[in-house]
Amino acid sequence: MLRMEGYHVDTAADLRAARAVIAAAREYNLVIVDVGHFASPGIEFCEEIKRQYSALKVLMQVDGHLHVDRNTCPDEVVSKQEGPQHFVREVERMLQAS
């Protein structure tokens, strides 16, 4: 969806690949962490990102049954069940705010 809206998107299949992508010389405006059945690894990764790149915004996309406390690491939490248009609007809102 983001590519169709004209955004440049890099992807990673797992946490190790994501660390390598973020560590590359390219600067990012936003990191999207897609959480599967368990939020803990995503929250830990988010905290790691914030320690290394404190100004980098993090959006966490979660399954509807997961609850992620908005006072934890991600700057924003979006439920996958809200649909792709809502997801794109939230990404755009976060990018405009940075």
Query: Model pTM?
Result: 0.85
61 strand-pairing partners: 34, 78
Domain edges within the chain: 15-97
Say what the pLDDT of residue 18 is: 92
pLDDT band of 10, cuts 50, 70, 90? very high
- Residue 87 or 71, more confident: 87
Superfamily of domain 15-97: Response regulator (3.40.50.2300)
* CA angle (53, 55, 61) in 5-degree steps: 85
